[in-house]
Chains A and B, each alone.
Chain A
């Protein structure tokens, strides 16, 4: 398929269709509205189902039902709407169902604003809802990557029977870039023998459930989930590394912020400061080992977490660096996106420059 110019939100929606998603349940909220709008146009063309739910809560529970019935299913929303979906996401995690949830993040808390933000890092990577669970969190930094990660999200969800969150920000959702859909290579996924599609009188009932009233049974379920999460951490942790060999300052940034930091690296080069970047592609599982490895280079004098928040991922960076080097934070929030110069100045101010 040839390259085409597409808005991030629409590209994510088309990527889902390309990945075989034929059921989408959504609810309007800015800045992700082009996803349900696109789905409402496209789904009938591929004999799929787009349904606008009465609320985010209903939408995620439709996802729960559709996933339990064995479908490739997706919903999308933005921060306050994702908060409403957390109950359902917890149930999806508890019942070990595959589903894809797109969060095009906007500033918060509360109704917040509608401009790009990364203030849902905690919400996404800490489970968000109640109980001992994780979601696999993919953070694209371009529209092309959003396409490929959305396609892969469906495979990951099926392989591990887990809700997968594609965490974009308003910038990724609203920006137009050239994209290609044929680049992603499909992964092998298991059959859904657990799906509730009717017994046909040939097998025992399949029950989609997250209730285990006996504490021993519930503990076993939690351990099962934990084992899955460990397997995911082992197999799927991903980060992009730029200029980090022998760097003096190591920046950790994801999504839109990481793209801005690439320009910070260039400013550093002009000023004789070698800045490296680690861009987590999976926010959970977090690429702690990669960060630890590069942070412990003798050349590195400090590590920075740069975010569109007041400091959330920085906690994970600190855990990864584990006191080996000083860890600092710089961020703008509420929908304000910093310029590369601003980030550079603040990084230099904090570290006192190179060496």
Chain B
């Protein structure tokens, strides 16, 4: 029988701990495939966050660092400055990158640090049990916004791709989603490009991936995929926000 689909070399053959219906697995796959296809796995060093992807260091088949909460871009900066010829990436969620780690991501971007950042935005803190994230939508119910996120009380969500694309330093910023086959195909292109940019020494590349959290959203996996279409994409529009290779597109 011909093999039509198999595990990529860049993923370790171990069960992952993610909940059923969570899109982290897809995001991992896209990163691993990209490293594989670019042939850079052997010189890749990844940085895992604190949050749902905290164990990512067990899943990517390359050298890894586990960073403190939010600090992955600083850790990646340290690695890249020591190993400029290696491919260095961070994989961070919205609590990690958009809340506690805002200073680190903004300044890594401003420096045009030649790293690749994979930013998972599922509008909630997953690992700690569904608390409000900086990306939680207005009126969205979480365990720390039980009456819905009240913008008059705790402000509005952060739009990271829009924010970072305003910095002169950033090279490439794109937002994609992991909820449909078409969106996943686009996401793959974006992720691969973000790594290709680093291979070509272009500089700071970030891909924001709109993701699902059926467990903490209190939905079935299918409802969660639809919720991304109905609620997240309208608030967080998909597309290329910055590409210095092609001028600013949006």
Contacts and interface: CB of A to CB of B under 8 A. Distances in A.
A65 B75 contact: yes
Contact of B42 (A49, A64, A198, A211): A198
A116 B209 CA distance: 50
Contacts of A208: 64-66
B45 A87 contact: no
Size range of the interface on A?
Answer: 35 or more
A54 B57 CA distance: 26
A69 interface: yes
Interface residues of B, number: 35
Given A196-B45, A197-B45, A61 B71 contact: yes
Given A58-B107, A196-B45, A197-B86, A65 B65 contact: yes
A115 B197 CA distance: 48
Given A61-B68, A206-B63, A209-B65, A70 B104 contact: no
B173 to A, nearest CB: 19
Nearest to A209: B66
Contact of A196 (B77, B79, B103): B79
A210 interface: yes
A200 interface: yes
Contacts of B104: 54, 57-58, 61
Most buried by A among B44, B61, B67, B82: B82
Contacts, number: 134
Nearest to B76: A65
B226 interface: no
B75 A54 contact: no
Interface of A: 23, 25, 49, 51, 53-55, 57-59, 61-71, 73, 87-88, 91, 95, 196-202, 205-211
Instruction: Please name the 6 residue pairs, one residue from A and one from B, whose CB atoms are nearest each other, closest first.
Output: A65-B78, A196-B63, A61-B74, A62-B78, A66-B78, A65-B75
Interface of B: 12, 41-45, 47, 54, 57-58, 60-68, 71, 74-83, 86, 103-104, 106-107
Given A57-B74, A64-B65, 7 more contacts: A23-B81, A49-B81, A49-B82, A66-B81, A71-B82, A199-B41, A200-B42
15 contacts: A23-B82, A63-B78, A64-B75, A65-B47, A65-B67, A65-B79, A67-B78, A68-B79, A197-B83, A198-B43, A198-B62, A199-B62, A200-B43, A201-B42, A208-B64
